[in-house]
A and B are shown apart, each in its own frame.
Chain A
Amino acid sequence: MVAFIIRRLIGMLLVLVAVSFIVYLIFIVIPGGDPALRIAGRVATPANIASIRHKLGLDHNVIVQWFDMVKSLLSGTLISYYDGTNVVQQIKEGLPATFSLCIGAGIIWLGFGILVGTISAVTAGRATDRVITGLALIGISLPVAWLGLILLYLFAENGLGSWFPPGGYVPLTQDPYQWFLHLILPWFTLAVLFIGFYGRVLRSNILDTINEDFVRTAKAKGLTSRRILVKHVLRASLIPIVTLFGLDFAAVLGGGAIITEAVYTLHGVGYLAYQAIGTQDLPTLMGVTLYGAAFIVFFSTLVDVAYAYLDPRIRLT
């Protein structure tokens, strides 16, 4: 177990090094990606560009440039090309909003996903199941941006109902009630897709598991149907959900909730990424990408450890 975790940690570092290098290469290679050209503006002289290039250290070879950038990122001194702000500082400022959004949404989508999937499987083929399956399909199909705008229109101020603020973020430490009020719509906007998806995956897992021989054994023991469902069927059916949740949760926590953050003007990491893409701001994008990649790599290790706990046949080696 310890050896496994050490090995995975080393693997994580290698992945992050590779990710950062690839991000850097993509930027240097794509047309119009050269930061010096963009900073110099439309009427730049070659001398002007050369001096900017020199100032940013872009006249070294690619490996050195990349190394310098990673080094300054790690030491927390990396500066945005676009507005001169500190990248690490920017990400840190985005964390409370992103974490609030993702943890809340994660709880909602996991809870409702399990509920919806279980009810749907237990009533398989009946009207309840058909309705839930239909709703789940709609949930999966709704574009997040559109759903966000519709919810704002229906429930937020300046819209039809005015129960919720039209966006923005209030820190939990400042006013818990306002924090909650500001986040309800974003939580559900982010969660709807996952609820539909998890519900459908769980439904089919449960229906597969119900036909397993060990479930028949559980019945033959004379267990109650509730105990059979919870202890034997759900336990086995939830194992694949753990993987999905680990990776999805890592992705949104790592700045993947870009659209939701943008629609609700939540100034989180996703919003930062959204702005950096718009301005092709290499240092910020590098920071955000590595931050996101770190979460995904870390959570996939966590998923493997959780797997070994949930299924004793799996040995971590």
Chain B
Amino acid sequence: MAERLLEVKNLKVRFATEDGIVQAVDDISFELERGKVLGIVGESGSGKSVTSMTLMGLTRGVNARFDGEVLYKGTDLLKVSDREMQNFRGNELGMIFQDPMTSLNPVYRIGDQIIEAIQAHEAVGKRAARARTVELLRQVGIPNPETRVDDYPHQFSGGMRQRAMIAIALSCNPAVLIADEPTTALDVTIQAQIVELIGRLKDDFDSAVIFITHDLGVIAEIADEIIVMYAGRVVERGTKRNIFYDPQMPYTWGLLGSIPRLDRPRPERLHTIEGMPPSLINLPQGCKFRPRCPHAFEKCFEEPPLENRVEEPGHLDRCWLDVEFKRSHRDETISPGSAEAA
């Protein structure tokens, strides 16, 4: 069995705001092994970014409250001091952010921003750090890295900036790479390149990846295991195969139905999930997806636990519906029209 790098147990994150307590992440657990890619999917506000930032200690603040454990190689990252956390950031856990246009400091050269990350954790000279930086830029696919290393961020395109961000994240060879919507701000051809790059670098650097996105199409490319989040909770969890071929949660169906697919008959209109995600201050009673779920019934006013309801042992979901009912009705959402065509 591969080395277990990260183990998140019953993580809860709450923020005190002027409007009340926001339960941003409610009882999420997962494990991550070396060499694996964990995908976290969900809409905006589902708690996926808060989860990833919490792993990095970036949500720490006077208004934040944490429960549970985030064990990195056995150390609980929720318990370490701010100063100790600095040694984990960048060094053990690297992070790539959503918007490469604003995530690099505009007034420093690309190379200097990478060198800074290396020198934050290792006692290497400027010359050695620079040589490594050039090599990193080459690995992330920047052409002419020897000269581009002295460019400023505004001289890079969006895709190149994201490559530079990846170089920063990987500069100290972290065991875990957290990618928070790394492709969202990029156009589709660049998206594919970045996803491919992250997958390849994961093997080169022998690390593990947490890949966060709202785009199931992207996750299908790269993830081994998938967590579907809704309103701060895990609503379904399983292998990529489980989620794509045997989805149990009507919310997952909705996400699957809203990606255009070339391998299925074309529907009249792409599926959309009706309504909006609930406010995290004032959550609905019972199943949090109930108000938007077309299949909701009385029992849904009771909160369903996250548990295994199908033959696959690792495939968990939060839905009261009968498994047979789900299997016979989900295609109405996932690929409307295909039943008639078949």
Contacts and interface: CB of A to CB of B under 8 A. Distances in A.
A43 interface: no
A221 interface: yes
B97 A235 contact: no
Given A222-B86, A222-B91, A232 B103 contact: no
B154 interface: yes
A217 B89 CA distance: 10
A220 B95 contact: yes
A174 interface: no
A242 to B, nearest CB: 13
A221 B107 contact: no
Interface string A210-235: 00111011111111110100011001
A311 B89 CA distance: 28
A206 to B, nearest CB: 15
A93 to B, nearest CB: 43
A216 B91 contact: no
Contacts of B95: 220
B96 to A, nearest CB: 9
**Best-buried of A216, A222, A224 by chain B (most CB within 10 Å):** A222
B156 interface: no
A237 to B, nearest CB: 11
Nearest to A311: B107
B149 to A, nearest CB: 15
Contacts of B172: 222
Contact of A213 (B87, B99, B120, B168): B99
Nearest to B93: A220
Nearest to B82: A225
Interface in A252-276: none
B337 to A, nearest CB: 41
A222 B117 contact: yes
A214 B88 contact: no
A221 B116 contact: yes
Contacts of B32: none
A222 B90 contact: yes
A310 interface: yes
Contacts of B106: 214, 311-313
B86 A310 contact: no
Contact of A220 (B58, B116, B121): B58
B105 A218 contact: yes
B107 A312 contact: yes
Contact of A221 (B102, B120, B152, B154): B120
A213 B154 contact: no
Majority-rule SS of A interface residues: helix
A154 interface: no
A219 B169 CA distance: 11
Contact of A222 (B87, B102, B165): B87
Nearest to B154: A313
A214 B103 contact: yes
A26 B86 CA distance: 64
B89 A235 contact: no
A217 B116 contact: no
Interface in B155-210: 165, 168-169, 171-172
B336 interface: no
B124 to A, nearest CB: 15
A180 B221 CA distance: 72
Contact of A217 (B105, B121, B154): B105
B97 A216 contact: yes
**Best-buried of B87, B89, B105, B117 by chain A (most CB within 10 Å):** B105
Contact of B165 (A212, A217, A231, A310): A217
B145 to A, nearest CB: 19
A166 B99 CA distance: 60
B256 interface: no
Nearest to A235: B107
Contacts of B97: 213, 216-217, 220
A127 to B, nearest CB: 14
B58 A216 contact: yes
Contacts of A294: none
Contacts of A216: 58, 97, 103
Contact of A236 (B88, B89, B107, B171): B107
Contacts of A212: 102
Nearest to A236: B107
Contacts of B116: 221, 223, 231
Contacts of B82: 225
Nearest to A239: B107
Given A235-B107, A311-B107, 5 more contacts: A214-B102, A220-B89, A220-B90, A231-B116, A313-B154
26 contacts: A213-B97, A213-B103, A214-B104, A216-B103, A219-B58, A220-B56, A220-B90, A220-B97, A221-B171, A222-B87, A222-B120, A222-B121, A223-B90, A223-B116, A224-B120, A225-B82, A232-B105, A236-B105, A236-B107, A310-B107, A311-B106, A311-B107, A312-B106, A312-B107, A312-B154, A313-B154
Please name the 8 residue pairs, one residue from A and one from B, whose CB atoms are nearest each other, closest first: A222-B90, A222-B89, A213-B102, A221-B117, A214-B105, A221-B90, A220-B95, A213-B103
